[in-house]
C-alpha cells in the first residue's frame, strides 16, 4: 500500500561530512601551503642575499664574459656577454646530444638485430659488446676515450693521414669543409624539390600497393632523383660548394673543419654506452612479435630481409619506443659529464665558469636546470607523439 503523504526532505549534513566539500577544502589548503612555503623560501633567500651583499637578478647576462671558449658554433669573442656564452653552451650541449642520439640509435639497432642472428659468431660478438659496455660507468668510458686513446695520438706533424684529406692527431680530427659558392641556392632548391617528390612518391606507392598489391621501387627511384636533379642544378648554375682542405702550416693545421678531441671522446663514449641499452630494447621488441607473424610472412614467400623490415620491425617499434625514450633522456642528461674533460657544454661554461666569475649561483643553476628540463620534456613529447602515431587503434 502506497502512502500519498509527501516525502520529507533528507536532512542536509554538515560541510565536514560532505565528501565534495571536504575534497575542495583539502585542495585549497594544499595550494595555500605550497604557495606559502614557496614565498617563504623566496623571501628568505632574497633577504639572506641582501644581508651578505650578493647581487641577485639576471642583469649579469649583459656583462662582458672576458674569457675564450675552445669551441663555438656561432661567432664569439672575449668581449661578448654572458648571455652569448649561455647560447654557445646550449648549442654545444645540443650538438653532443644530437650526435649521440643518432649514432647510438644506428649502432643499437644493428646490435639488437645481431643479438638475434642465427650466426653464432655475430650473436656472441654482439652479446660481448653489450655486456662489456653497459656495465662500465659512462664517466670511465669518457676518460678512456679521452686520456687513453685521443691523448695518445701523435703531434700535428706526425698526424695520421687518410687520403691527404682527413688528419687525426692529439689536437683533434681535421676534415674537409664545404664553403658556399654561386650555385648554392639552386642546389638547395633542387634538394627541397627532390625531398618533396620523395614524400609524394612514397604516399602514392603506398596507396598503389594497397589497391593493386604491386610494389614500386620508391627507394631506388628517389636515390636516382637525388643524384640527377641536384647534379643538373650544379651543371646549369655552377658548383654549390668549394672544399677547404686542412693544411699543415707551422705547428698546426689551417682550413677545413677541426673537431676537438673533447667532442670526439664524449660522442664516442655516450654513443657506445647508450647503444648497448638500445640493443637490448630492440632485441626485446623483436622477441615480443608473435612467431606466427614471421611464419605467415615466410609462407607468402617473403625473404628474411623483407620480413624483418616490413613485418617484424614495424610491430616491434610499439614495444621499443617507450624504453628508447628513456635512453634518449639518459643520454642527454649524461652529456653533462662532458665537463669532466673540459668540453665547453652548458654545465662547463655556464654553471661552471660563469658561476665562478659572477657568484650568482641561484640564477645560473636555475637556468641550467631549466634548460635540461626543457630539452628532456621536448624529447618526451616528440617520442610520445610518435608512439601514439604508431600505436594500434581499436575500432
pLDDT in tens, 110-146: 999 999 888 999 999 999 999 999 999 999 999 999 9
Quick: pLDDT tens for 162-173. 888 899 988 889
Q: What is the pLDDT of residue 51?
A: 81
CATH of domain 82-176+245-390: 1.10.3720.10
Looking at residue 2, what is its pLDDT?
A: 47
Residue 146 is classified by DSSP as I
Is the pLDDT reported for residue 7 higher than 70?
no
Write down the mean pLDDT value for the chain: 87
Give the CB-side neighbour count of residue 218, counting CA atoms within 13 A.
Answer: 17
- What are the φ and ψ backbone dihedral angles of 227, each rounded to 5 degrees? -90, -45
**Domain residue ranges in the chain:** 82-176+245-390
Q: Which residue, 95, 139, 97, 132, is CA-closest to 111? A: 132
Q: Is there a contact between 286 and 147 (Cβ–Cβ < 8 Å)?
A: no
CB 66, CB 78: distance < 8 Å: yes
Task: Residue 321: name the closest of 386, 393, 366 by CA.
Answer: 386
Res 43 pLDDT > 90: no
Helix (H) or strand (E) holding 45: helix 19-51
Amino acid at each position: 500500500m502506497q502512502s500519498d503523504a509527501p516525502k520529507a526532505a533528507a536532512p542536509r549534513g554538515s560541510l565536514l561530512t560532505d565528501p565534495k566539500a571536504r575534497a575542495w577544502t583539502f585542495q585549497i589548503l594544499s595550494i595555500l601551503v605550497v604557495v606559502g612555503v614557496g614565498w617563504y623560501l623566496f623571501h628568505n633567500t632574497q633577504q639572506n642575499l641582501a644581508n651578505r651583499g650578493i647581487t641577485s637578478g639576471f642583469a649579469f647576462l649583459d656583462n662582458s664574459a672576458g674569457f675564450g671558449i675552445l669551441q663555438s658554433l656561432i661567432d664569439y669573442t672575449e668581449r661578448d656577454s654572458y648571455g652569448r656564452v649561455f647560447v654557445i653552451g646550449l648549442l654545444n650541449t645540443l650538438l653532443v646530444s644530437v650526435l649521440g642520439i643518432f649514432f647510438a640509435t644506428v649502432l643499437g639497432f644493428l646490435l639488437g638485430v645481431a643479438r638475434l642472428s642465427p650466426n653464432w659468431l655475430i650473436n656472441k660478438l654482439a652479446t660481448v659488446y653489450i655486456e662489456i659496455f653497459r656495465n662500465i660507468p659512462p664517466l670511465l668510458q669518457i676518460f678512456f676515450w679521452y686520456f687513453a686513446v685521443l691523448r695518445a695520438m701523435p703531434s700535428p706533424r706526425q698526424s695520421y693521414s687518410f687520403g691527404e684529406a682527413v688528419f687525426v692527431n692529439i689536437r683533434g680530427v681535421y676534415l674537409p669543409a664545404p664553403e658556399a659558392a654561386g650555385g648554392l641556392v639552386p642546389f638547395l632548391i633542387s634538394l627541397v624539390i627532390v625531398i618533396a617528390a620523395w614524400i609524394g612518391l612514397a604516399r602514392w606507392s603506398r596507396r598503389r600497393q594497397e589497391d593493386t598489391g604491386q610494389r614500386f621501387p620508391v627507394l631506388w627511384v628517389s636515390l636516382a632523383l637525388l643524384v640527377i636533379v641536384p647534379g643538373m642544378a650544379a651543371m646549369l648554375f655552377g658548383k654549390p660548394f668549394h672544399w677547404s682542405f686542412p693544411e699543415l702550416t707551422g705547428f698546426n693545421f689551417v682550413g677545413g673543419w677541426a673537431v676537438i678531441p673533447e667532442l670526439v671522446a664524449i660522442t664516442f663514449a655516450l654513443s657506445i654506452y647508450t647503444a648497448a641499452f638500445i640493443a637490448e630494447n630492440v632485441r626485446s621488441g623483436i622477441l615480443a612479435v608473435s612467431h606466427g607473424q614471421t611464419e605467415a610472412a615466410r609462407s607468402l614467400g617473403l625473404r628474411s630481409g623483407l620480413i624483418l623490415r616490413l613485418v617484424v620491425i614495424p610491430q616491434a617499434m610499439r614495444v621499443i619506443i617507450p624504453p628508447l625514450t628513456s635512453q634518449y633522456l639518459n643520454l642527454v642528461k649524461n652529456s653533462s659529464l662532458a665537463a669532466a674533460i673540459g668540453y665547453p657544454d652548458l654545465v662547463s661554461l655556464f654553471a661552471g665558469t660563469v658561476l665562478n666569475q659572477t657568484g650568482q649561483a641561484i640564477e645560473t643553476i636555475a637556468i641550467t636546470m631549466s634548460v635540461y628540463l626543457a630539452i628532456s620534456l621536448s624529447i618526451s613529447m616528440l617520442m610520445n607523439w610518435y608512439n601514439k602515431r604508431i600505436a594500434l587503434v581499436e575500432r
